Structure 1
Amino acid sequence: MTNTLLGGLSGEEFLAEYWQKKPLLIRQAVPGFTGVLTKDELFTLARDEDVESRYVCHDATHWEVIHGPQKAADLRRKKQPWTVLIQGLNLFCPDGDALLHRFDFIPQARLDDLMVSYAIDGGGVGPHFDNYDVFLLQGIGKRRWQIGNQEDRTLIEDAPLKILQDFRPVHDWVLEPGDMLYLPPHWAHNGIAIGECTTYSIGFRSPTVQELGQQFLIHLQDTIQLDGIYADPDLKYQAHSAEISDQMIDRVADMLTRITWNREDVRGFLGTYLTEPKAHVFFDSPDEPLEHEEFVAACIADGFRLDARSLLLFSADQFFMNAEPVPVHPEDKAILERLADHRELDSVAGLSEEGLALLYDWYCCGFAYASRTLMD
């Protein structure tokens, strides 16, 4: 499957030759692909207040962005080019979630979400660059992609989008249904719809060092334990009572050197940080949950599946589900690793009682399903 998706390359070959190095155009990456939902389904999602969407329209000099939920009237405009973009499509569309996870040859810790854009003729979001890797898979219709690896990333001032002031493309391609373009971070690109079209964007997480640093310090705040209190038995009289003395600064600086961390602290931080659901994601418990025995019987017969919104990762012997560390019985480790990799189990046979209890707890929280309850 990966060979077709990557134009005959294996995942290893793609990572070695292209990932974060240079673009790759793949004709018929997904033969026969026209999308994972209809235009009407896409528009219905765009009007949903729980779905993150943007409506972008423009003329030769002016750009306008409207954040969702969208109005039905805007989705029928014909006078000027426009596009509507839906973020996190994988959270609302099972086929979208399946499409996103076709890209698991990249670690899931780096995988972000699936976005879809629908545009009428001439629609797009202007020439721009992203700070992350992206695969652009063409659905219905055609889209013209111009790309360039320029150093000048100056943006148009006061524009509602991050549009490059001086875009200089070096490649110009038209993508048809099933074609796909991979772009590394910072490659400038401009997609222009040729007639009505949809494009599916598979994006990846690329947190800034600043964000990682801030979030790690927050993590330490919740885990660190420093003993003692500030004391100054050698305090000297000060001429200025409002002055923070050098002695106080030195004493506190010395105390703060006791704040330390190691690789296990970083492992725990990454496990919770990378599995933190996005702010707008909420989980619903089953209205009438199965009893534990019924749940186990359903899982044995039909398997177990994670909800599309759930994030399950592991490192060494530690597992993390939706920003929480999860204690795992050693004999369950291999099965739960398989669940994390594939996001479903054909059967729960072989799990310990502790493992089955863990799956049942996830089911009751709305994090996962017995496949039978999912079908119901």
Structure 2
Amino acid sequence: MTSLPLCLPDSLTPEQFLAEYWQKKPLLIKQGLPQLIDMFEPEDMLGLALEEDASARLLTQAASKQNGQPQWQLKKSPLTEADFANLPEQWTVLVQNLEQWSPELGQLWQAFDFIPQWQRDDIMVSYAPKGGSVGKHYDDYDVFLAQGYGQRRWQLGKFCDKDTEFVADEPIRLFDDMGEIIFDEILEAGDVLYVPPKLSHFGVAQDDCLTFSFGCRRPNLMQIIDSMADIATNDSDLFVPMLLPQALQASGELQTDSIDAIKTQLLQMLQSERGDHIIRQAVSEVVSKRQYDALMPEETLDTDELMKALAEGATLQADYSNRLLYSKTSDGFVLYANGQRIDGLDETAMAVLIRLANGEKLYSADVKEIDSDDLSEWLENGWVWIDFAE
């Protein structure tokens, strides 16, 4: 159960969105995320971009002295105040992984609970003064572009592919031709625009504006294969040489029949119970890994302070800067956190962590059967976040 309404038009069910729009076509959701209005101001994000541990980029655009064409420059974090001195008229600063810096912002992921949380990437903010943009581009993932402050004009064009030509010698992937413009609207604070993968888009700040990108991403096959190899190294049976049929052949030839026989045994293993286990664990580890290194909290609650806060009405919630998920097997549930399988949990603890992973707010009565030291460890690990009662 979520505490926020879903970020969808009243006339559209989650089932309809997934069937008709997800990875197919864009959708404008007027006032889809009003909770974001006035949550942050530009100065907040500019200050955050200067933090030593922030993952930030400063993108500037100025006319080239040689031909007058726009020339982009990119500076990655760490950024300093000197980087923001003498900027050209058009510039943008981007900050990734905002959930780490604002658990309150991270909780807005609940408005997108129609998308499995293991597909969430991170929340990025884009600040730009009037005229600022990051150029015409496309992303390989789904994104919900939520306006938090000011206005931004968005244009959407054609779907791109691997043959799309980018402008040469630029620090970011940009192109000139968006094809036919199918969408041209100005988003106000609280509005949300869903953009499917590979759809070209171009956003230009109409005034000082903050746009928050809620990105969704799936693993690629190379990540899964790499993880499977790591897991398989712990299975001694897989190190036993294969038994293969042998036909008479030239001594220097590796025949197609031999390759096919090896492929057949490999596929048989992947389709077996052993293969199911390897694939399940590989996928679970990959999708539960955090993309960015964890920030160490400046202050932590000790066990007594935690229990006192819960007794006074504070709630425990999943910390969306971390990755907490579970999968169901023939033996029950298995929990993963930040790329690691968590073993040794009793049924009560597992049930509570599953509820947290599903986005529930839990009160003192919900966790009364959990040892207080375990709760403190969950908090210290970053699996949960405590929301103090007002």
Structure-1-length-normalised TM-score: 0.82
Instruction: Please report how far the alpha carbon of residue 276 of structure 1 lies from its aligned counterpart in structure 2 after TM superposition.
Output: 1.5
Select the residue among 186, 205, 211 that pairs with 1:199: 211
Identify the range of structure 1 (256-265 vs 199-208) with the bigger mean alpha-carbon deviation. Answer: 256-265
Select the residue among 93, 113, 134 that pairs with 1:84: 93
Instruction: Please report how far the alpha carbon of residue 56 of structure 1 lies from its aligned counterpart in structure 2 after TM superposition.
Output: 0.6
Instruction: Please report how far the alpha carbon of residue 299 of structure 1 lies from its aligned counterpart in structure 2 after TM superposition.
Output: 4.3
Alignment deviations for residues 295-316 of structure 1 (CA, whole Å, 9 cap, x no partner): 5565455443444432210111
Q: Are 1:120 and 2:132 an aligned pair?
A: no
Q: Partner residue of 2:378? A: 362
Instruction: Please report how far the alpha carbon of residue 92 of structure 1 lies from its aligned counterpart in structure 2 after TM superposition.
Output: 0.4
Please give the secondary structure, in 2, of the residue aligned with 1:124.
coil
Select the residue among 40, 57, 78 that pairs with 1:69: 78
What residue identity is the alignment partner of 1:268? Q
Q: Partner residue of 2:154? A: 145
Q: Partner residue of 1:162? A: 173
Alignment deviations for residues 175-214 of structure 1 (CA, whole Å, 9 cap, x no partner): 1212211011110001111121111110011322233222
Select the residue among 112, 117, 120 that pairs with 1:103: 112
Instruction: Please report how far the alpha carbon of residue 133 of structure 1 lies from its aligned counterpart in structure 2 after TM superposition.
Output: 0.4
Alignment deviations for residues 308-335 of structure 1 (CA, whole Å, 9 cap, x no partner): 4322101111111222222332344433
Q: Are 1:304 and 2:307 an aligned pair?
A: no
Bigger RCO (CA 8 Å, 6+ sep): 2
Check conservation: 1:3, 1:9, Cα contact below 8 A.
no
Instruction: Please report how far the alpha carbon of residue 140 of structure 1 lies from its aligned counterpart in structure 2 after TM superposition.
Output: 1.7
Q: Partner residue of 1:273? A: 286
Q: Partner residue of 2:145? A: 136
Instruction: Please report how far the alpha carbon of residue 342 of structure 1 lies from its aligned counterpart in structure 2 after TM superposition.
Output: 1.6
Q: Partner residue of 1:335? A: 352
Q: Unpaired runs of 5+ in structure 2?
A: 63-68, 243-250
Taking the aligned partners of 2:35 and 2:373, their CA distance within structure 1 comes to 42
Q: Are 1:37 and 2:40 an aligned pair?
A: yes
Taking the aligned partners of 2:341 and 2:216, their CA distance within structure 1 comes to 23
Check conservation: 1:283, 1:367, Cα contact below 8 A.
no
Q: Unpaired runs of 5+ in structure 1?
A: 232-242
Q: Are 1:57 and 2:69 an aligned pair?
A: no
Instruction: Please report how far the alpha carbon of residue 163 of structure 1 lies from its aligned counterpart in structure 2 after TM superposition.
Output: 0.3
Q: Are 1:25 and 2:28 an aligned pair?
A: yes
Q: Partner residue of 1:240? A: none
Q: Partner residue of 2:340? A: 324
Taking the aligned partners of 2:58 and 2:213, their CA distance within structure 1 comes to 16
Q: Structure 1's 200 and 77: CA in aligned 2 closer, same or farther, altered over 3 A?
A: farther
Structure-2-length-normalised TM-score: 0.79
Instruction: Please report how far the alpha carbon of residue 101 of structure 1 lies from its aligned counterpart in structure 2 after TM superposition.
Output: 3.0
Instruction: Please report how far the alpha carbon of residue 64 of structure 1 lies from its aligned counterpart in structure 2 after TM superposition.
Output: 0.5
Instruction: Please report how far the alpha carbon of residue 347 of structure 1 lies from its aligned counterpart in structure 2 after TM superposition.
Output: 2.5
Taking the aligned partners of 1:369 and 1:95, their CA distance within structure 2 comes to 9
Instruction: Please report how far the alpha carbon of residue 356 of structure 1 lies from its aligned counterpart in structure 2 after TM superposition.
Output: 5.6
Taking the aligned partners of 1:244 and 1:358, their CA distance within structure 2 comes to 61
Alignment deviations for residues 318-359 of structure 1 (CA, whole Å, 9 cap, x no partner): 111222222332344433321111264212546655x66643
Check conservation: 2:41, 2:149, Cα contact below 8 A.
no
Alignment deviations for residues 209-234 of structure 1 (CA, whole Å, 9 cap, x no partner): 2332223323323x322377779xxx
Alignment deviations for residues 259-290 of structure 1 (CA, whole Å, 9 cap, x no partner): 65422322222222222223422445966733
Check conservation: 2:6, 2:110, Cα contact below 8 A.
no
Q: Structure 1's 282 and 33: CA in aligned 2 closer, same or farther, altered over 3 A?
A: closer
Instruction: Please report how far the alpha carbon of residue 96 of structure 1 lies from its aligned counterpart in structure 2 after TM superposition.
Output: 1.5
Identical columns (%): 30
RMSD: 3.5
Q: Structure 1's 297 and 325: CA in aligned 2 closer, same or farther, altered over 3 A?
A: farther
Alignment deviations for residues 154-191 of structure 1 (CA, whole Å, 9 cap, x no partner): 11122100002422233211112122110111100011
Q: Partner residue of 2:65? A: none
Q: Are 1:182 and 2:198 an aligned pair?
A: no
